[in-house]
């Protein structure tokens, strides 16, 4: 397999509504930013992988074909990925495979979402209609009619976990909300930068038990693009590329009632296992310098610590309580603010997170820079009850890593080690 680098990153503002842009105008803005960042033109792009989640959001089936035209890529290879909330991450996975296979030298990943053109006229607000659009993703015969919501889909495994381990507590979940809103204050594209207290979160109104208002991410509109390149191309374009050294993708049983254990994010466990193996990571808790996790809801971030083996089963709550995942801790999680702080422009989210991880290892993350960030994990979750996960290890390989635990073996990205 060929090595795959990240050589260009461009993300628009994530915000509640881009009333002055259509989805293809937004996509264009991110594409332009990423091309400029890479120092290349559209003629240099070998193909484009689109991440766009929901037809009812965009008010358009096959929205990718019109974006491809709009950004001047007509005639080039292209495919759209739609894997629910994991759309952005899975789009990165597909683009990675095109370069790893040697098909193209340069591939653009372009994620975009217009989530709030939906509108509920009774309430005078988009959200209930946006939720309705999402719920067409629940099995239409057996699950959609039950009144499930995206939050409920995460709450079901979470309540099972709380029943088994007693954690995470509502206070631990609130601490994740405080952290991610606060991290977002260092991120100029973030939708919800806020200084909150744990009590602010605990006292906010109940949305879906046990998630209160501030435990939820908000719907965002935005676009994010990254340019992936083969090793030769990446080295020619920049002396400071980020490398995708491991990838993993898993789709667990979507009828969650068939699962053996409801308390584990199994898809994250499998995607993480594969990404770690490819990147040669044996002890993620010490080898990772940071992570950008899919905190669609606070409890999901905590269960993700466990799924990615950053702690044992039931130990996730302690990681936030002990400050490990804070910017001041030794494994900061979601320096960007994550979905809760930065926003969740679904198809764009996983692309944005991958770009954020690349900025971290390149030392370009400005105020949200994690010191000596060399290896980071990206997680993108989607589907009913977290059925999908795409995971990526993003790292910088110019020098020997600073952490002794990681020095046991020299690693080359793109080399599977078993």
Residue numbers of the site for other proteins (CB under 8 A)? 19-20, 56, 59, 119-124, 127-129, 131-132, 134-135, 141-143, 145-149, 151-152, 155-157, 159-160, 163, 205-209, 255-258, 262
User: Which residue's CB is nearer to other proteins, number 159 or number 202?
Assistant: 159
Closer residue to other proteins in complex, CB, 162/357: 162
> Phi/psi at 106 (nearest 5 deg)?
-140, 125
Closest distance of CB 143 from other proteins, Å: 5
Supply the minimum distance, in Å, between the C-beta of residue 154 and other proteins.
9
Quote the least distance from Cβ 126 to other proteins, whole Å.
Answer: 10
Q: How far apart are CA 183 and CA 173, in angstroms?
A: 16
Closest CB to other proteins among 96 and 211? 211
Considering the complex, what minimum distance in angstroms separates the CB of residue 250 from other proteins? 16
Nearer to other proteins, 299 or 350 (CB): 299
Rounded to whole angstroms, the Cα distance separating 174 from 232 reads 45
Place of tokens 């599977």: 416
CB 67 within 8 A of CB 24: yes
In angstroms, rounded to a whole number, what is the distance separating the alpha carbons of residues 379 and 331?
15
Q: How far is CA 378 from the centre of its chain?
A: 6
Which residue shows structure tokens 């606060």?
Answer: 182
CA distance 396 to 242: 5
Which is nearer to other proteins, 153 or 172 (by Cβ)? 153
- DSSP E strands in 267-417: the ranges are 290-292, 375-382, 388-395
Whole-Å CA distances, 18 to 14, 22, 112, 181, 345: 9, 8, 12, 21, 11
| Least distance CB 403 / other proteins (angstroms) | 38
Of 295, 239, 248, the C-alpha closest to 275 is 248
Whole-angstrom distance, CA of residue 401 vs CA of residue 318: 27
Between residues 55 and 321, which has the closer beta carbon with respect to other proteins? 55
Residue number with CB closer to other proteins (135 or 331): 135
- The CB-of-411 to other proteins minimum distance in angstroms stands at 37
Is residue 321 within 8 A of residue 179, CB to CB? The reply is no
Which residue, 177, 197, 195, is CA-closest to 186? 195
**Minimum distance, C-beta of residue 106 to other proteins, in the bound complex (Å):** 34
- Min dist CB 115 to other proteins, Å, is 14
Q: Please tell me the chain's helix, strand, coil percentages from 3-state DSSP, rounded to the nearest 5.
A: 40, 20, 40
Q: How far is the CB of 32 from other proteins (least distance, A)?
A: 20
**Of 56 and 276, which CB lies nearer to other proteins in the complex structure?**
56
Q: Which residue has the tokens 């290879």?
A: 77
Which of 215/356 has CB closer to other proteins? 215
Smallest distance, other proteins to C-beta of residue 258, A: 5
Q: Rounded CA gap, 350 and 223, in Å?
A: 11
Q: Which is nearer to other proteins, 289 or 301 (CB)?
A: 301
Return the closest-CA partner of residue 412 out of 233, 280, 290, 271: 280
Question: Sign of the C-alpha dihedral, residues 332, 337, 341, 347?
Answer: negative
> Residue 112 in 3-state DSSP?
strand
- State the nearest-atom distance from the C-beta of 41 to other proteins, in Å: 29
User: Using CA atoms, how far apart are residues 158 and 107, in angstroms rounded to an integer?
Assistant: 37
Between 18 and 243, name the residue whose CB sits nearer to other proteins: 18
């Amino acid at each position: 397999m060929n090595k795959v680098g990240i050589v260009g990153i461009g993300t628009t503002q994530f915000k509640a509504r881009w009333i002055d842009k259509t989805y293809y105008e937004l996509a264009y803005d991110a594409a332009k930013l990423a091309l400029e960042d890479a120092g290349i033109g559209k003629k240099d792009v070998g193909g484009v992988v689109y991440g766009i989640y929901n037809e009812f959001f965009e008010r358009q089936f096959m929205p990718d074909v019109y974006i491809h035209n709009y950004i001047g890529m007509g005639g080039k290879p292209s495919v759209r990925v739609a894997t629910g909330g994991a759309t952005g991450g899975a789009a990165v996975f597909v683009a990675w495979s095109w370069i790893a296979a040697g098909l193209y030298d340069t591939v653009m990943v372009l994620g975009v979402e217009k989530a709030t053109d939906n509108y509920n006229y009774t309430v005078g607000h988009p959200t209930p209609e946006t939720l309705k659009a999402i719920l067409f993703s629940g099995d239409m015969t057996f699950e959609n009619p039950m009144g499930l919501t995206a939050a409920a889909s995460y709450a079901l495994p979470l309540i099972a976990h709380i029943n088994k381990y007693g954690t995470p507590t509502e206070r631990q979940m609130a601490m994740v909300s405080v952290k991610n809103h606060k991290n977002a204050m260092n991120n100029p594209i973030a939708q919800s930068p806020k200084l909150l207290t744990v009590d602010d979160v605990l006292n906010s109104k109940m949305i879906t038990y046990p998630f209160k208002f501030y435990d939820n991410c908000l719907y965002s509109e935005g676009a994010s693009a990254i340019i992936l390149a083969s090793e030769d191309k990446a080295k020619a374009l920049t002396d400071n590329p980020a490398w995708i050294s491991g990838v993993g993708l898993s789709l667990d049983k979507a009828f969650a009632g068939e699962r053996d254990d409801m308390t584990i994010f199994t898809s994250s466990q499998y995607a993480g296992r594969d990404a770690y193996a490819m990147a040669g990571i044996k002890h993620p808790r010490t080898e990772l310098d940071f992570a950008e996790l899919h905190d669609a809801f606070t409890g999901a971030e905590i269960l993700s610590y466990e799924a990615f083996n950053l702690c044992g089963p039931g130990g996730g709550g302690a990681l936030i309580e002990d400050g490990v995942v804070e910017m001041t801790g030794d494994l900061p999680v979601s320096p960007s603010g994550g979905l809760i702080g930065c926003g969740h422009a679904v198809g764009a989210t996983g692309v944005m997170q991958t770009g954020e991880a690349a900025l971290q290892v390149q030392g370009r993350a400005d105020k949200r820079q994690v010191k000596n960030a060399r290896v980071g994990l990206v997680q993108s979750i989607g589907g009913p009850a977290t059925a999908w996960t795409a995971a990526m290890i993003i790292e910088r390989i110019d020098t020997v890593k600073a952490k002794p635990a990681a020095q046991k073996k020299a690693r080359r990205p793109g080399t599977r080690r078993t």
